[in-house]
Structure 1
Amino acid sequence: MSDLHSLTAAQQLRSLRAKEVSSRELTEHYLARIDRLDAELGAFITVTADQALEEADRADARLAAGEQSPLLGLPLGIKDLAATAGIRTTFGSAAMAEFVPDEDSWTVGLLRQAGAVVLGKTNTPEFGSTCFTENDVIPRPSVTPYGTDRYSSGSSGGAATAVAAGLLPVAHGSDGAGSIRTPAATCHLVGVKPSRGLVSSAPASSFFVASTEGPLARTVEDAALVLDVMARPAPGDIYGWSQGSSFSAALGLRRSLKIAMWTDTGLDQDVDPQSVLAVQRTARLLVELGHEVREIPLPARWDEPTRKAMVDWFAYSVGAAVQAMELTDRTHLLSSYSKQLLTMSDALSASDVVTAQALLARYASTFLAAVDDYDVALTPTTNGAPVPVGYYDGDEADRMLRWSCHTPWVNLAGVPAVSLPSHVDDEGLPRGVHLVGRSRRDADLLALAAQLESAALWSELHPPCWDR
């Protein structure tokens, strides 16, 4: 079949189990598309064709023997911030361009154990520190296939590009301030950021855990299938918890919810009209589906102390990464923005770091208090369309916040969120809408997302490269 990539991940898994298609056929199909299209898209840092075909053959043998592992034989990409045994892991940094780990990260191990076939490592900015995906490891930034002169955001930009362009059925991502959700919005995808601890971050390097891993997919069902595998706590995870049931099975649940909404960015800037449209059309559909939607004031603004605390926290995180990776003799290979953050990190005292954490915790708790009487919050995912390649010209921190201002509070609060496609604007560029749930109520949030999908919040609209 020449259009295997048009099948959803769930359909591919059913076809694998019914022996209608083999894992090798799927893997060869996606590798051919990567070879044909990725030079234009920048989705992958590393492609492991030979290893993937070997894994596919092993998966086919297991399928022939009647095994039923959840993702057995399904091609998958791993974001290049996660360690993969035997596959180079660059963290988007030229300083780590030749690093090959001996062990998988916890989540990668779960995906492999579930039978996924790893096709390679998807593109990410250096240490995942920007909401655009560009680095010095490969020459091409990750761009949205809906407009190849526009970034697909970051830091899971390569993962989103790959799924949207039909180079992968689903992909692994991670999200520290919106890094799954904003790429999903630029690429007309479903992007899930789970509650803190559902997908393990062990071994924890800090009590202040903002980042978590999650899936990018074309459908809510596909995202749930991957999340079912990823959601298993590692031994020793201080935040770890278990859902106790399948997210896939919960997608059909229906109950009336109380939903708060806002579109204010919290900054002195215009609110993008298309972002407002995304929220308004979603709110109307939610009311038609029997939910209560109420507009409320933005709970907290991005005042100067909060903005500074956010930058300080990112600077500290980059400094900690450089130290942990023992890169002190290779800092000349870092990007200019990483060097800037590293200089800032060197100037921070322990007191500065603790103060930044306290300010950010207070900022997040203000949001939680404001939505305590609600089941879900509804906002835009981004304040604007995917931005042009070259848009970030040295003033990254301010420009990134102005565009991605709606997502960071969710990471700070540790609650679940999902970005869903809304519509495509007059320029043919995707726009997303952002739903935020209550802590550890991830299943309810995914069920609501599935309900919106079934009610045609968005239509499946493929990019120009889909049929190439």
Structure 2
Amino acid sequence: MSDLHELTAAQQLRALRAKEISSRELTEHYLARIDRLGAELGAFVTVSAESALEEADRADERLAAGERPALLGLPLGIKDLSPTAGIRTTFGSAAMAEFVPGEDSWAVGLLRQAGAVVLGKTNTPEFGSTCYTENDVTPRPSVTPYALDRYSSGSSGGTASAVAAGLLPVGHGSDGAGSIRTPAATCHLVGVKPSRGLVSAAPATSFFVASTEGPIARTVEDAVLLLEVMAHPAPGDLYGWSHPGGFTKTLQRPLKVAMWTDTGLDQDVDPQAELAVRRTAEVLTGLGHDVREIPLPARWDEPVRQAIVTWFAYSVGVAVQAMMLQDRTHLLSSYSQQLLSINDTLSANDIVTSQALLARYASTMLAGVDDYDVVLTPTTNGAPVPIGYYDGDEAERMLRWSCHTPWVNLVGVPAVSLPSHVDGESLPHGVHLIGRHRQDADLLALAAQLESAALWEERHPPCWNQ
């Protein structure tokens, strides 16, 4: 079949189990699409074709024997921030360009145990520190397949580009300040950031855990397939928890939904961001939910903005130390070097004070929505931005575009970005739903309800049929 990528991941798994297709067929199909389209999209850092085909053949043998692990035979890409045994893992850094881990990360190990066929590593910025995907490892940034001159955001930009263009059926990402959700928005996809601890971050490197791994997919069902495999805590996970009964459920009651479009900064709300929220609110109301517009509970004032920069600078400093790159810092990107220079000036008091400021900001946000089941906002303040947009004051420009997502990581609650619409310039826009802590199943049920109510139509990019 020449159109295997038309099938959703769930449909592919059903076809594999019915022996209507083989894992080798699927794997060869996706590898051919990656070969044709991957470089132009900046989607992959490393393609492991030989080992993928070997894994696909083993999957076919297991399927023939009647084995049924959750993802057996399904091709998958792993974001290049997660270690993969035997497959180069660069963390988006030229300083790590030849690193091949000996072990998988916890979540990658779960995906492999579930039978996924790993095609390679998807593109990411250096250490995942930017909301655009451009680095010194790959010759081209990750771009949205809807407009090849615009970023697919970051730091899961390569995954989003690949899934949207039909180079992967579903993708693995991670999210520290919006890094699953904003790429999903730029590529007309579903992106899920789970509650803190649902997907294990063990072994812990800090008590301040903001990042988590999660799925990027074309459908809510496909996202749930991946999440259910990843949602098993590692031994020793400080925040680990399990969700009984999985993540496929039906809402039992109408939900109370708070909404806003205010960015929390001194800037206008993008008209398309406003449209995304208003049209979603109409659909939610039509479904019987109680939607109320409320003031933004907390703003991005100067101390909070500075605390965010301190957090990112400290994170890059920790990464450089953990990877023992002190003698290779000249190979780091200019932005990483800038953050590293800031980190070198920080005292322990500076770091603790910044985390206290972020905790106060996060607590104020939570208190402001305590009476609601769900919060509705734009995912981004505007369309995917052109390549080169962030040249100059990167931190400020990134926050102005991605201002709606970081607070969710600070408080640790679940969130999902859903496609809203494609505008008159054929650019995608997303809408952002935030749930209560550990109420991931309810949030995904609401996402599925919106999908069934046709909140968005399936709109593929120009390269889909190539």
TM-score, L = length of structure 1:
0.99
Deviations 1:254-274 (A, max 9, x none): 420000000000000111000
Q: Give the match for residue 102 of structure 1.
A: 102
Aligned-pair CA distance for 1:98: 0.2
Deviations 1:81-126 (A, max 9, x none): 0000000100000000000000000000000000000000000000
CA distance in 2, matches of 1:193, 1:361: 19
Q: Give the match for residue 340 of structure 2.
A: 342
Aligned-pair CA distance for 1:38: 1.1
Q: Give the match for residue 235 of structure 2.
A: 235
| Letter aligned with residue 351 of structure 1 | N
CA distance in 2, matches of 1:216, 1:327: 31
| Letter aligned with residue 259 of structure 1 | V
For the 8 Å contact 1:191–1:418, the answer to whether it is kept is yes
| Letter aligned with residue 171 of structure 1 | G
Correspondence list, 1:56-455, <5 A: 56-247=56-247, 249-250=248-249, 252-455=250-453
CA distance in 2, matches of 1:150, 1:52: 30
Deviations 1:405-443 (A, max 9, x none): 000000000000000000001100000000000000000
SS in 2 for 1:330: helix
For the 8 Å contact 1:254–1:447, the answer to whether it is kept is no
CA distance in 2, matches of 1:62, 1:265: 51
**Structure 2: tracts of 5 or more residues without a match:** none
SS in 2 for 1:260: strand
CA distance in 2, matches of 1:36, 1:185: 24
For the 8 Å contact 1:254–1:448, the answer to whether it is kept is no
CA distance in 2, matches of 1:391, 1:369: 35
TM-score, L = length of structure 2:
1.00
| Letter aligned with residue 8 of structure 2 | T
Q: Give the match for residue 17 of structure 1.
A: 17
| Letter aligned with residue 258 of structure 2 | A
Deviations 1:286-335 (A, max 9, x none): 00000000000001000000000000000000000000000000000000
SS in 1 for 2:326: coil
Aligned-pair CA distance for 1:392: 1.1
CA distance in 2, matches of 1:340, 1:419: 30
| Letter aligned with residue 294 of structure 1 | R
SS in 2 for 1:56: helix
Deviations 1:314-359 (A, max 9, x none): 0000000000000000000000000000000010001100001110
Q: Percent identity?
A: 83
CA distance in 2, matches of 1:138, 1:372: 44
**Structure 1: tracts of 5 or more residues without a match:** none
CA distance in 2, matches of 1:259, 1:142: 34
| Letter aligned with residue 26 of structure 2 | L
Aligned-pair CA distance for 1:394: 2.7
Runs of 4+ in structure 1 off by over 6 angstroms are none
For the 8 Å contact 1:210–1:414, the answer to whether it is kept is yes
Correspondence list, 1:16-55, <5 A: 16-55=16-55
Deviations 1:46-95 (A, max 9, x none): 00000000000000000000001000000000000000000010000000
| Letter aligned with residue 162 of structure 2 | A
Is 1:3 paired with 2:13? no
Deviations 1:222-250 (A, max 9, x none): 00000000000000001000001111x32
SS in 2 for 1:28: helix
SS in 1 for 2:135: coil
| Letter aligned with residue 393 of structure 2 | D
Question: How many residue pairs end up in the alignment?
Answer: 466
CA distance in 2, matches of 1:253, 1:169: 27
CA distance in 2, matches of 1:361, 1:245: 32
CA distance in 2, matches of 1:427, 1:450: 27
| Letter aligned with residue 276 of structure 1 | E
SS in 2 for 1:118: strand
CA distance in 2, matches of 1:41, 1:103: 29
CA distance in 2, matches of 1:408, 1:83: 24
CA distance in 2, matches of 1:238, 1:390: 39
For the 8 Å contact 1:176–1:411, the answer to whether it is kept is yes
| Letter aligned with residue 202 of structure 2 | A
Deviations 1:200-223 (A, max 9, x none): 000010000000000000000000
CA distance in 2, matches of 1:24, 1:18: 15
Aligned-pair CA distance for 1:253: 3.4
| Letter aligned with residue 27 of structure 1 | T
